[in-house]
Every structure is written in C-alpha cells, then in structure tokens.
Structure 1
Amino acid sequence: MKLKEDMSPLLLQVFRSVVWVYSVITFLPWYLLSGASERQACAKRVKARSVSGSPAGSYRAVNSQQKLVSLLHEGVDTLDKVFEYAVVHFPQRDCLGTRELLSEEDEIQPNGKVFKKVILGDYNWLSYEDTFHLSQRFGSGLAALGQKPLCNIAIFCETRAEWIIAAQACFMYNFPLVTLYSTLGGAAIAHGLNETEVTHIITSKDLLQSRLKAILMDVPRLKHIIVVDKKPKSLPDLPRGIMVHNVAAVQELGAKPENIMVSRRQPVPSDIAVIMYTSGSTGIPKGVMISHSNIIAGITVSLTHAPLSLYKLAILRKKSHNLCRKLSLFWHTTTRWSRSPKDTARHSVTGIMNAAYNISKMISSKTPFCRSVFSVITLMYNCILFCRLVFKKVRSLLGGSMRVLLSGGAPLSAATQRFMNICFCCPVGQGYGLTETCGAGTISDLADYSTGRVGAPLVCSEIMLKDWVEGGYFSTDKPNPRGEILIGGPNVTMGYYKNEQKNREDFFVDVNGQRWFCTGDIGEFHSDGCLKIIDRKKDLVKLQAGEYVSLGKVEAVLKNCPLIDNICAYANSEESYVIGFVVPNQKQLTALAEQKGIRGSWEEICNHAEMEKEVLCIITDAAITGKLERFEIPKKIRLSAEPWTPETGLVTDAFKLKRKELKTHYQDDIERMYGGK
C-alpha cells in the first residue's frame, strides 16, 4: 500500500508530461489541418443583431433582419402538403424505422425497483410511399368510423411508427390531433379529453388496460378506441357504447373503394394541427393550439438556419419525419440511449447529461491520480490522442458515429456541456424553445464551443427582452441587456385551448400584427447576439427581510454537487430563509453514512437527522463555491429516499420540477423545517 502511494505522484507527473509533449508536437499540424482557425472565426462571428440598432431592441438572426422565414417551398404551407412533397421527391427512401425487439429482461436496482431492460436489433424500414398509403388508409378508416374534419381526435400512446402514421392521417384529413403525455395522471387525462370533446382516441393496449380504463366513465363523449397493437383477446370492462378497434382493422376499412379519400377536407395554414397538452409544472395541463403554419415555420427554420435545430421532445416527435429526409439523420426522441451504429444525432434532456457528468466526477474523485486525469481531460477537447484512444469506448456507447449531441428541457451547466463535448468528441449544442413557440426560439451554432448559452434567434423568431423591475433586470443593463424573454414570429402558437384569461396574460399581438409569447424566463444577450438563460421569473420569492431569491438559480448551482441527484429549493415569503428537498445520490450518501458509522436501510439513512446535517454542510460548501448569496443558501433540508420521476407526479415528462405538487408532498416537512412541527 505504501509503495502505491509513493508511486502515485510519479505516475501523475509522467501522465502530465506525456500530455504536455503530445500537445506541443501536435498543436500546429492539428490547427492547420483540422480547420480550427475557420471554426474559430465562425464561432466568433456576430449571429444576431438588434433590429433597431440599439442593444435594448429586439434581436433577429443576421440572415433574417428584414423578414422572418415561415415557408420552405412556395405553396407547401400545411403538413399534409409537406408529406406529399416528400413522397413525390423521395418515394422509396427510408421514412420510418422500427428496431426489432430481440429480448427484454427485468433489471433489479439497488433500491429494489425493477427496470425493464430491452435488447434491440436492426431497423425495419417503411418507405415514404408505404407510409403515405398507410396514413391515407388510416385517415379514410377514421372518417368511415364517424370522425369529422375540424373535430378533435386524441392520441394517447408511446412513441412508435404507428404514432407518426396516425398523426399524418389526421393532418391529411384535417382532424385536429390532441396529444397527451402517457405519464399524465388520470384526472389530467380526463380533463384533456373532456375539454376537447373527443369521440375517438388512439392508444396502445398497455395504456388502455393500465391507464384509460380507470377514467372511461368520466369521459362520456368517447365512442371509439383504436389500439395500435393487435386487438386484445380479452378487454377490460368498458362502458356501454364504446367500441375497440385496432389500427390494421381501421386501415382495412379505409382501403375499401367506397371509403378511400371520402370526406377528405384539406387543411389551410391557419387550421389547428395539434392541441398539445403540456405536463405543466403548475396546475392542470393546458392545451396549446398549434396551427399548420406554426409547425411549418419550425420545419423551415431547422433547414435554413443551421445543419441542426433543437426542439422540445414532444415537438420533435411530430417533426422528425419531416426533417430526416433533408438532414440525412436518424432521430431518436427518447431519453434512453442506444448503441445503434446509424445514430449520428442525439437529443437528450439536460438531467441525463448532468447525471452522466456527476457519475464521471464521482469515479474521478477516487484517487489524486484520477482527479488529475479528470482535470486534464476537461481541457483536451478535440485531442486526437484522447478521441482515438481514451474516449473510443465512451463514443461506442452511442454507436461510435455521433456527430452532434443536442440538449434541451432545461439549461445545461457549463461544466457538463464541456465534459460531454470532450468525452463524445463532438459538438454539444443547446437550444431554447417552448411548446407555446412550437419548440423554436434559439439554437447554438455547431462551431461555437462556448458553454452556458442557448445560441442566437432562429430565422423564424424575434426575441425581445422586457424589463423586470422586481428582479432588477433591465434591457438597458451594461454590458449585456437583460430582461424577461419574449418570443415573436410565425412559430408563436394560437394560444391555450378554451383559456382566454391565460391567453391575455401570456400572448399579445404588436402593432405590426406579429404574435408574441411572454416566456417568464430571464435572459441576457451577449455582444455576438447569443442568448443566455440566467433566471426564471416565476421562481422568484421575496423573503421576510425583503431579499429576492431565485429558486431556479439556487437549484442550478447545487445540482453540480455530486451528492445531489435532484433538488427543489423552497422559500416562504413569511420566513427569513430557504429550505430544500434533496434526492441524494445513493452511492455517495451510502459511502458517507459508512464514514459516519450510520447503518440501516436506504430509507433509514435518508431519514437520519445526522445525515441531514452532514449533507447540509456539503451543500453549503457547494453553494459558497457557486457564489450564492448568504440568504440564497438553504438552511435546512429534507432527504428523499424516493427518486422524482414523471410517474410520481412530482416532475414533468421533461423532468422539470412541479413545485405545487412537491410542496403538497412535503408539506409536513415544510412545517417542521420552518418550526411548525
């Protein structure tokens, strides 16, 4: 043991020397041959400017100063026309690929939970022409079952090829498509179905049996259920009058000569294409009305602004089939990462990337040698030695052909973004958009390796910063204008379904007829026209002594602590300090408990008062390192043994915190931490 300790500094010095010599020898050839100078010049260029010429004005991309872009091809202004255009030009090209399920097994986690592990094989592809015919028949079949144009139809299903086929059928026949996250609670699902007055719903066998059957009595207008699988041999007890079909049977009905293309009413650009129920962080979900022209604007942006654009996962699900032909990429709109060698682009929510970074930090902290290697690695982006040797196995986790990683759902920390950049030897971009803006807002440039920013406005979007006096953010701030982010353009959606009050609060039309959405996020523009998200308006709480605390800011800083898997900061305006609910990293906390001589089950460790104190000390140190103000640092915490997942109802599908639900869930702990109990 003594010999190993003596050898460690020597090995460390040898490693540093090798890296230094290698860098000196290879830098000049690499700089001249890799195009680094061109990329650097491209990264530094001005990407957006103020329309008025004043830093306090609204910003547009440099190539859309005169007019925002809304169409890709003249006359191709609805989603059915987009798909028909693709079918005409690329009839035999691959459109939808489904990977074969080879096997699945239950994987027991240390906490006793059982996760389903699937082994996937090669893709089986449908061409554009095949997909078009399947969609056409399905739409005709729905019409034969009584679905009327301009009447809403719901889809409550996991992402799969049938999802896209059903969506295209609805676009083709002008059936506004109501989308519901498969993880929404029963009351939220029933609310969406009743509010939109649907009579037909497309779902899967599993969701019908596990989720829908419990609420069917609460949805009296529902008459037809279409399952994407084979029709179940045994159906749950259904209310009288509800009929169950499967997709194949509906397509067979639609293929009959008397039904094909009957009752088709083509949409116009202003017609509603989708009513998307968001898994909102507060209250019941709101249905966002998205027109054909809104989505067309988003599609156009992704092909004219940059090689890649980033949208929310739910929007990508509808757009990806329209994009993939032009981009020649294989999109995966799931947060599970696979090893397909064909994957060249990957979209992931921020939480998964942060988790990967924290695991790496935890591993690297084992010994001084590992810590030093980790620190050197984080400075070695695009180093051939590391890309070819050290990170080859890391890249193979995503197939080995990854050209770009895209992050969305929440701001990605600078440290995580840099680390992912290096380990996967490809650009890691960020984008910014909301369901209310059709997922479009900004996108980072592939040549820009700066961190912590979400890029410049897309060519369909104009962004303005509105003064927020209470938070101390002004569009006249120096050196960078700051304020609430307002997004305007043809991608701004039609508003919330049957919710005029929220529409008046969040949307407005300016004197030029342009529609705007008030995001509630706080941003600042840098000199090159790139936006950085710095705060959240709705997360601001005024403490008893008058200090304003941004809960999102506190959480963003503390999430970088390896001991924390997730955290929710909370503050009561009648109190003088912040508290927090923490989902700790099980391996880290268990090791800490062993050091302190505390034993027991995972729940007992989390509930131990001494462990709360120890974790609070570590969190306090992390907060000080992250330069939080004294009043922003949590004074008391509650450790949660149960992780927060969409199934628990405490986070959204994008793993954003549901503060109202978290407050209710931890109400007793809130009272205890504030002295009530």
Structure 2
Amino acid sequence: MENSEYGKYGVGVAVSIVLLSMVCMGKKKKKKAEKLGVAVQVGAEAGFAVRNAQYKGLVIAPYVGITTVASLFQKSCEWYSGQLLFLTRKLINKDVITAKDGSKLEQLYLADNRSRKTYAQVYNGVCIFAAGLVEFGHDIDTRVAIFAEPQEKCQIALQGCFRQAITVVILDASLSEENLVHCLNETQVSTLICDSKQLNKLTAISSSLKTIRKVIYFEDDLGYRATTNMCDSSESNKDWKLSSFDEVERLGREAQVSARCPIRVMITHGNLVAAAAAINTVIPRLQINDVYMAYLPLTRISELIIQLAMVSSCCPIAYGSPSTLMDTSSKIMIGTKGDVSVFKPTIMAAVPAIIDHVRQGVLQKVEEEGSKKHFDIACKHRLAAIQGSWFGSWGLEKWFWDFERARAILGGKIRFMLCAEAPLSEDCRRFINICLGAPIGQVYGSTETCGAVAFNVQWGDSNVSRVRLPLPCCYIKLVSWEEGGYTISEKPMPRGEVVVGGLGVTMGYFNDDMETRKVYKVDEGGMHWFYTGDIGQFHADGCLEIIGRKEDIVKLQDGDKAMSKSYPKKKKFSVKSNLNLKFD
C-alpha cells in the first residue's frame, strides 16, 4: 500500500517535471505584430508609399529652425558647451618594421591616457580655423578637399569649411596617385587639406595637378613639419602655398562670407541635417555616457551622418583608425593598447573586416583552450535567450564560457553596433548578437539618399532582406515595373521598384543632367524622388523587403523573366565611390 502511494507521488512529480520542461523550452508568447509603417499619399508617379508609423510627418532636423550643418553644429555646441565631445590619443613614438615578405609596416605607440575636448573647445577651434582658412588666402568661391585618415582635425576642418559655406570634397586616404589626380582635377580643388605623410604622394603628382594652389597639412604629435619646398618638384607648381594646420589656426580671425558651388552628387545642408535627425531617432537611449568610436573616413556618407547625429546628441566621439583600432592591429606596437581598449566605446560601426578579425581571435582562443564544446553550449543558451525562449539564459552561460572575454576585444562596453554598408553575413551578425551581446542597426541607403532610407535592428533575426520601416526623414514608395512583372496591385504584398522621396534625397549629379534625369524626379510639390533600381515588396506591417534588382532580371527563352542572381539576399543600391557635397 505504501509503495502504491509513493508510486502515485512519483508519477505526479515526473509529470510536473515534464510539464515544467515543456514550459521552459517553449518560447515566449508573441505579441500582436506592431504596425511599423503606414500607407501615405504622396506626389509624383503613382505607387504604394509607406512612412514611419511613429511620426506623422518627415523629421527635418534635430532642433527647430536648423537648416545647415553649420547651424546644427553651432546649436549643439551652445547646448552642450561644457560636455565632452572629442576623445583622442597622443602619438608617443612610431617605427617602421620589415615584414617577412619584405614589405615595410609602420607601427605606432599611442598613449593610454585620453585627451579630451568639450563642445565649447571644439567649437572655438572650428571658428578659428574657419577664419584662418580665409586669412590663409583660400578663395571661398573655390573648393577645398580633405585627404586624410580619420582624426579630430578632419571634423574641425570640415566644420570650419561649412561655416564659410565652402564646398568640400572628401577623398579616401587610400586613393592611388592616379585616382587622386583624377579626383582633384575633376573637382577643380584649389586648397588641399591632408596628413603630413600624404605630402610625399602630393609631391610625386604635383606636375599633374591643374588647380591646386594651397596645401594645409596636419602635423603629427612628434612635431613633424614640412619644408617649404616639399611640393616644389615641378616648375608649374612653385607658387603652391604650404602651411600646417596649426599655422592656419594662428591666422584665425572672424569673417562672414558665403559661397555656393555645386559638384558631382549634390548634397545640401538640409539633406545632411534631416538624415542626422533620422539617425538620432533609431539609436536606442543615446546619451552623454555613450562614446562613439569613429574610425572610418568621412567619404562614407553614413559615417558623416552618424557623426553629425552624435554631435547633436551630446555623445562624445573617439577618433582612431582601422590600423590602430585593437591591441592586435597592424600599427599598434606589441605591448601597447589599441583605440578601443583605451576609449571603451559603447557604439561603433560594424564593418565585416573588423568583425571577422574579432571573430577569428575568439575562435582561435577557444581552440587553444580546448573549450569548443563548452563554447558551443554557451552560444546555444545565449542564442535561445536572444530568440525569446525561456530555455535561454543571460549570465548562466558563463558557467561554460565567459563572453566578457570576447567583448573585451572591442573595449568591453559595446551596447549597439551600426552597419550602414552592405549587410553583414549571418555568421557576423550571430557573432555580434551572441558573443558581443549587442544588437545591430542595419541602415539601408546610399549617397544619393544621404545614406538614410530604412532601418532594421537585427537581434537574432536572420532575414537581412527585410530592411523594415522607413526612417522618418523620407518616404518609401513602390512603383510598378510592368516589364519585370512586378506591380503594386499584387496580393498579398504590393511589389515594384523602390523609389525614395523626402528631405534626405539629394539634388542629382553635377554636370551630368542625363544621368540625373534617369534616376531623379521632382514632383509637383518640389520633393525629390530617387529611383534606386531595387525591387521590393511591402509586408502587412508596413516593412519593406528587398527581393532583387532591375539590372539582375534576365529574359528566358520561353519569354519568362527570372533573377540572374539568387535572392532575397539584400543588395544595396548603387553608391558613388567618392562623396562630393554641394551646400546651400
């Protein structure tokens, strides 16, 4: 009899354990799908347009009355005058080593201590440089080019030019001599601002440059100064005026001048300010305690927009470079620290090459420890938590493998990563979500749309083709493409070419009216619309999914049409290689 009673209790306990396990392993009940995008009536060609459901209209600027980047920067500095804006590291020493293949490699010894500048200090420097640039002799009716690696002086020089309404051409520091000559001659730049180490390259091509008359270079912390005859290698360029950045600052005095010169992809202040305001709305809990790690060149329109968003949100910007980013980066001397270890950023851009480097370092560490089995178990638990399962865990996986060691590679405090380039691979996204414990904000856009069209926070979501809801600075419209068989009347989801309109859409291509007419249209209300060439479809919740590109449609022998490439892998629409700006 007693055994029978115990048997009943035993069955009861067993059933309870089974039911509890089923509950624990089940996923959380999903909430009703939230409406993220709503249909909206817009002008121009008929189509199915969607706007961000959280905003009744397009966001124009972070602050009321702001129409230019110069005014945005000034207002931000007035509001946050005593707050921290720039973080930098001083160069202590540098050396050149010879690699096994015989190539020369520069290594840097950067200080562990951080140099700080407040909004007020940076603004003062911008005003001084702006005045000094005119005093130096730059004709404000001509263009300035910035050709340097990422650093605080680039942003100061850029803002200084904006204050004088000077057109700026931003060039990638890795450009070859041939491409540099082409860019400078095509844009007819009269003043070049560059790193001191770029002067040798400039000297080599001086005879080929037609319009350069003045050169301003950034001195390094070791006190490098160029000689007055460095750029005098050709008879035609002996009238070049050479000066350091510090010397130009010393020439500073107040002046009020305005100019307006259009070039290539013509981007207005209004475009940049609206795009920055839109990015501000999607970065979660952006605050004074955050630090943004800036290591990408301003030639990337997305990087310029993100930095402007940081400036207007009182978020400090730490400057580094890809070659000094981590402790193991190529230019960091052995035993010294990389940029992220010193600055400990909370927000940074997710670039495939950097993430792959971190990922390989973690996997190598796992292999060396012989802890792959434990690592896989920890990843499984963390992934389950990300996907909303009660069976997942946040913290308990430390019993198997501590992900803080992976986070430490990027400073240990990363809470959000932005990817504004081509989508990261699924492996990269999974690595960021699981090992770094951070969501990824994928921005969909191009130079023609000021880098900001749609935004998707990828947190355990493997569908990269869904670019989700429009950013609040623009409308997204699908226009029927009858030839390809994609129409807005299709059920259950309208499909067609993705067309973007709003405050972030640029004016067109300078001196290329034919190309501008192909992809830009202006409606009866004066709004610009850009035809991306992407084929998309809207889901019931208002989110956009990219399913192909017009250029990838091929005609089959039987008359049907098909994609020449496999989709729905998201493909970014075309981006001009060099950012050229026009300011109004």
Q: TM-score, normalization: structure 1? A: 0.65
Q: Deviations over 1:450-499 (max 9, x none)?
A: 64133311111101123344554433444433332211111111211221
Q: Does 1:242 align with 2:244?
A: no
What residue in structure 2 maps to residue 442 of structure 1? 454
Matched residue type, 1:301: A
Q: Deviations over 1:514-570 (max 9, x none)?
A: 10111223333332222333323345566889886756648969x9xxxxxxxxxxx
- Contact 1:302 / 1:308 at 8 angstroms: preserved in 2? no
What residue in structure 2 maps to residue 376 of structure 1? 380
Distance 2:566 2:107 in 1: 35
Q: Which moved more, 1:501-510 or 1:440-449?
A: 440-449
- Contact 2:277 / 2:309 at 8 angstroms: preserved in 1? no
- Contact 2:88 / 2:319 at 8 angstroms: preserved in 1? no
What residue in structure 1 maps to residue 315 of structure 2? 328
Distance 1:539 1:351 in 2: 27
Matched residue type, 1:47: L
- Contact 1:97 / 1:126 at 8 angstroms: preserved in 2? yes
Q: Does 1:348 align with 2:350?
A: yes
Taking a change above 3 Å as real, the CA distance of residues 76 and 367 of structure 1, as seen in their structure-2 partners, is: closer
Taking a change above 3 Å as real, the CA distance of residues 112 and 216 of structure 1, as seen in their structure-2 partners, is: closer
Deviation at 1:249, TM superposition (A): 0.9
- Contact 1:95 / 1:321 at 8 angstroms: preserved in 2? no
Taking a change above 3 Å as real, the CA distance of residues 244 and 179 of structure 1, as seen in their structure-2 partners, is: same
- Contact 2:86 / 2:319 at 8 angstroms: preserved in 1? no
Q: Does 1:149 align with 2:162?
A: no
Q: Which moved more, 1:396-405 or 1:524-533?
A: 524-533
2:396 to 354, 360, 385: 385
Matched residue type, 1:152: R
Deviation at 1:220, TM superposition (A): 1.9
What residue in structure 2 maps to residue 317 of structure 1? 304
Taking a change above 3 Å as real, the CA distance of residues 485 and 555 of structure 1, as seen in their structure-2 partners, is: closer
Q: Deviations over 1:203-248 (max 9, x none)?
A: 11222212x3333222222110111124314725252211211111
Q: Does 1:482 align with 2:495?
A: yes
Deviation at 1:503, TM superposition (A): 0.9
What residue in structure 2 maps to residue 298 of structure 1? 275
- Contact 1:520 / 1:537 at 8 angstroms: preserved in 2? yes
Deviation at 1:294, TM superposition (A): 0.8
- Contact 1:96 / 1:321 at 8 angstroms: preserved in 2? no
Q: Does 1:494 align with 2:514?
A: no
Taking a change above 3 Å as real, the CA distance of residues 368 and 401 of structure 1, as seen in their structure-2 partners, is: closer
Distance 1:482 1:360 in 2: 42
What residue in structure 2 maps to residue 410 of structure 1? 422
Q: Which moved more, 1:447-456 or 1:363-372?
A: 363-372
Deviation at 1:380, TM superposition (A): 4.7
What residue in structure 2 maps to residue 515 of structure 1? 528
1:261 to 254, 259, 263: 254
Q: Percent identity?
A: 27
Q: Does 1:77 align with 2:67?
A: yes
Deviation at 1:128, TM superposition (A): 1.6
User: Across the two proteins, how many residue pairs are aligned to each other?
Assistant: 510
Q: Which has the higher contact order (CA 8 A, sep 6+)?
A: 2
Other structure's SS at 1:339 match? helix
Q: Which moved more, 1:433-442 or 1:127-136?
A: 127-136
- Contact 1:83 / 1:322 at 8 angstroms: preserved in 2? no
Matched residue type, 1:242: W
What residue in structure 2 maps to residue 608 of structure 1? none
Matched residue type, 1:300: A
Taking a change above 3 Å as real, the CA distance of residues 115 and 442 of structure 1, as seen in their structure-2 partners, is: farther
Deviation at 1:78, TM superposition (A): 1.5
Matched residue type, 2:394: C
Q: Does 1:429 align with 2:420?
A: no
Q: Deviations over 1:407-464 (max 9, x none)?
A: 2211234453233211111212211111111111111247785641333111111011
Distance 2:410 2:22 in 1: 31
Taking a change above 3 Å as real, the CA distance of residues 415 and 51 of structure 1, as seen in their structure-2 partners, is: farther
Matched residue type, 1:348: A
What residue in structure 2 maps to residue 136 of structure 1? 127
Distance 1:50 1:333 in 2: 42
- Contact 2:454 / 2:468 at 8 angstroms: preserved in 1? yes
What residue in structure 1 maps to residue 215 of structure 2? 225
What residue in structure 2 maps to residue 638 of structure 1? none
What residue in structure 2 maps to residue 46 of structure 1? 35
Matched residue type, 2:81: P
- Contact 2:299 / 2:578 at 8 angstroms: preserved in 1? no
Matched residue type, 1:291: T
Q: Deviations over 1:130-149 (max 9, x none)?
A: 22222222221221233233
Deviation at 1:166, TM superposition (A): 0.5
Deviation at 1:114, TM superposition (A): 6.2
Distance 2:359 2:199 in 1: 37
Distance 2:151 2:24 in 1: 46
Q: Does 1:201 align with 2:192?
A: yes
Other structure's SS at 1:504 match? helix
- Contact 1:159 / 1:317 at 8 angstroms: preserved in 2? no
Q: Deviations over 1:628-648 (max 9, x none)?
A: xxxxxxxxxxxxxxxxxxxxx
Other structure's SS at 1:101 match? strand
Taking a change above 3 Å as real, the CA distance of residues 369 and 152 of structure 1, as seen in their structure-2 partners, is: same
Q: RMSD in angstroms over aligned alpha carbons?
A: 4.2
Distance 1:410 1:151 in 2: 34
Distance 1:471 1:334 in 2: 44
Q: Deviations over 1:299-341 (max 9, x none)?
A: 2212345538999944423651552451635466855453345
Q: Does 1:192 align with 2:183?
A: yes
Taking a change above 3 Å as real, the CA distance of residues 157 and 80 of structure 1, as seen in their structure-2 partners, is: same
Q: Deviations over 1:590-628 (max 9, x none)?
A: xxxxxxxxxxxxxxxxxxxxxxxxxxxxxxxxxxxxxxx
Distance 1:58 1:484 in 2: 11
Taking a change above 3 Å as real, the CA distance of residues 547 and 96 of structure 1, as seen in their structure-2 partners, is: farther
Taking a change above 3 Å as real, the CA distance of residues 303 and 342 of structure 1, as seen in their structure-2 partners, is: same
Other structure's SS at 2:134 match? helix
Other structure's SS at 1:400 match? coil
Other structure's SS at 1:191 match? helix
- Contact 1:306 / 1:445 at 8 angstroms: preserved in 2? no
2:545 to 523, 532, 538: 532
Unaligned runs of 5+ in 2: 1-16, 287-291, 293-297, 327-339, 387-392, 580-584
Decide which structure has greater helix share.
1
Matched residue type, 1:467: S
Matched residue type, 1:231: R
Unaligned runs of 5+ in 1: 1-19, 255-259, 276-286, 560-650, 655-677
Other structure's SS at 2:313 match? helix
What residue in structure 2 maps to residue 420 of structure 1? 432
Taking a change above 3 Å as real, the CA distance of residues 501 and 374 of structure 1, as seen in their structure-2 partners, is: farther
1:97 to 82, 87, 106: 87
Deviation at 1:289, TM superposition (A): 1.4
Distance 1:333 1:57 in 2: 43
Distance 1:24 1:328 in 2: 45
Deviation at 1:46, TM superposition (A): 1.6
Give runs of aligned pairs for residues 585-624 of structure 1, distance below 5 A: none
Taking a change above 3 Å as real, the CA distance of residues 426 and 218 of structure 1, as seen in their structure-2 partners, is: same
- Contact 2:132 / 2:251 at 8 angstroms: preserved in 1? yes
What residue in structure 2 maps to residue 669 of structure 1? none
Other structure's SS at 2:257 match? coil
